[in-house]
Amino acid sequence: MRKLATCIVLLFAAVNTIFSQELPEIIPHNPEVSALGKYGDIPIGYFTGVPNISIPLVTLQGQNMNIPVSISYHASGIRVSEIASRVGLGWSLSAGGAVTRSMRGIPDDTPGAGYLYTNYTVQSLLDNVADQGYVLTMLNDSSEGLLDLESDMYSYNIMGYSGKFHFNQSGAIITHPDGDDKIVPVKINDVIRGWQITTKEGIIFYLGLSKDHTREANDTSNPTGTSVNIAGGYSIPTPGTYTTNYISSWQLMELEMPSGESFSFEYQSSSIEFWNLGGQRKYFGVTGSGNCFQNDVPTSYSINSDFTHRLTRINGKTGYILLNYDQPRLDLVNDFALTGVQLYNNHDQLVDQYQLEYDYFISTQHLNTNTFGNTDQRRKRLYLKRIVQTIAGTENQAHSFAYNTDHILPDRLSFAQDAWGYYNGQSNGLFYP
């Protein structure tokens, strides 16, 4: 019976896909989340060939725990579509932490339709597998975003603690791999507005919402999907009907030690918007009849309108850390690059500070691209040039960085990509052979 149910589901899903135009299944994260996500996708280690490249900046000392701020470079390569983080292309800021959602279907906590609130389960499908109308309605509603058949995937990386988890259909949290961290969602009106994660050592992390619920820092994403037929040339698409606003990540607000010592984290919000190139589909008719559009090559794009948060301050009993963002970015409108990190003691005296300097890589090859979005956002990529430590107004030490520029990446929306998204050095106008 289970094999029969699977076959029926796959058959109806295939029929439904032929006639649909939809947002790419993987909705891109904002640049900060994407930069940190590399470490989960391709871990540092000899078995992956990715070296540990990390530069410590300042550390806020505590009685039982220290809060370090550092930056790290992930040497797995840069993809064509990649947008630099606030500390430059390939770099990520390690400070605080977050829980991040990879949406699959629609958000789990969508009232009345999300995975946590749906009556359409695997068991209900098995119970009604002989009812073709039931199965078709279920699959069509899922494809139109009216119900959710799969849990989102969540990941967290907080002060050296990390992991992944999802919900089962009973609402319980399943961790990957099994771990000792206790994870509890904090819901307001059935929507997950925060998380409380407790480690086996008794450290409590409050994310999204502060412990007393008076402060909040959640990143939201509002992707709009569209498809455009490029067989006859490029054209600017009209945004499609698929659009949803959902919380994509929950920022670390507070951490509390078993001793009672605590640290708090403050943020500044901003709205950013960026285009993404999704994928292409080629349709082939099985027979000579039918309505398959064999000559059409629809290309999917998405516009992400994200509400994000920049970490600006970390507070402790012994002092605080300030993070300054004084350089407006040319490659991401309304965003800013991290330009300084300062450590103060609890008497407001400056103890240590670092300045960060940047420049831009500029694409000179505009291979098979279009006029979507802002030109600078498509062709410029922020990169980190130099980090300088200054004490009492005197330069103490500096780190300078050189990058391989033998092959400058093309426009971010270029088709000149291989199957993994890296620049292939070609001028192909299609993703498939």
What's phi and psi for 8, nearest 5 deg?
A: -65, -45
φ/ψ bin of 373: left (φ > 0), alpha (ψ from -120 to 50), beta (otherwise): left
Structural contact between residues 50 and 44, judged by C-beta atoms closer than 8 angstroms: yes
2 three-state secondary structure? helix
Burial pattern 159-184, b for ≥16 Cβ within 10 A else e, equals bebebbbbbeeeeeeeeeeeeebebe
pLDDT at residue number 401: 94
What is the phi/psi pair of residue 153, to 5°?
-105, 135
For the stretch 188-242, pLDDT in tens is 999 999 999 999 999 999 999 999 999 999 998 877 655 554 444 434 444 433 3
Q: What CA–CA distance (Å, rounded) separates 103 from 248?
A: 8
The SS3 call for residue 275 is strand
Q: Is residue 358's pLDDT more than 80?
A: yes
Total domains in the fold of the chain = 1
pTM higher than 0.85, yes or no?
no
Band the pLDDT of 426: cuts 50, 70, 90. confident
First-last CA distance in the chain: 39
77 found inside a domain: yes
| Between 432 and 270, the higher pLDDT residue | 270
**69-81 pLDDT tens trace:** 999 988 888 889 8
Query: Does residue 244 have a pLDDT over 90?
Result: no
Domain membership of residue 421 (yes or no) is no
32 backbone dihedrals φ, ψ, rounded to 5°:
-65, -45
Confidence label for 251 from pLDDT (cuts 50, 70 and 90): very high
Query: Of 102-106, 130-134, 302-306, 334-338, where does the model show the most confidence?
Result: 334-338
Measured from the Cβ of residue 396, the count of other Cβ atoms closer than 10 Å reads 12
* Residue 363 forms part of a structural domain: yes
Number of continuous H segments (helices) and E segments (strands) in the chain: 5, 21
3-state secondary structure of 162: strand
Considering the domain boundaries, does residue 332 fall inside one? yes
Task: For helices 132-143 and 2-18, give the axis angle rounded to 10 degrees.
Answer: 50
Q: Both tokens of residue 168?
A: 């089962």
In a domain, 66, yes or no: yes
Residue 118 lies in a domain: no
Is 141 inside any structural domain?
A: no
Structural domain boundaries enclosing 157: 2-104+151-400
Looking up tokens 């600078």 gives: 376
Q: Please tell me whether residue 139 adopts helix, strand or coil conformation.
A: helix
Q: What is the pLDDT of residues 164-177, one digit of tens each?
A: 999 998 899 999 88
In this structure, how many other beta carbons lie within 10 angstroms of the beta carbon of residue 250?
28
The answer to whether residue 409 is domain-embedded is no
Give CA–CA dist 267/311, Å, rounded: 4
> Across the chain, what does the average pLDDT equal?
82
d(CA 50, CA 44): 5
**pLDDT grade, residue 116 (50/70/90)?**
very high
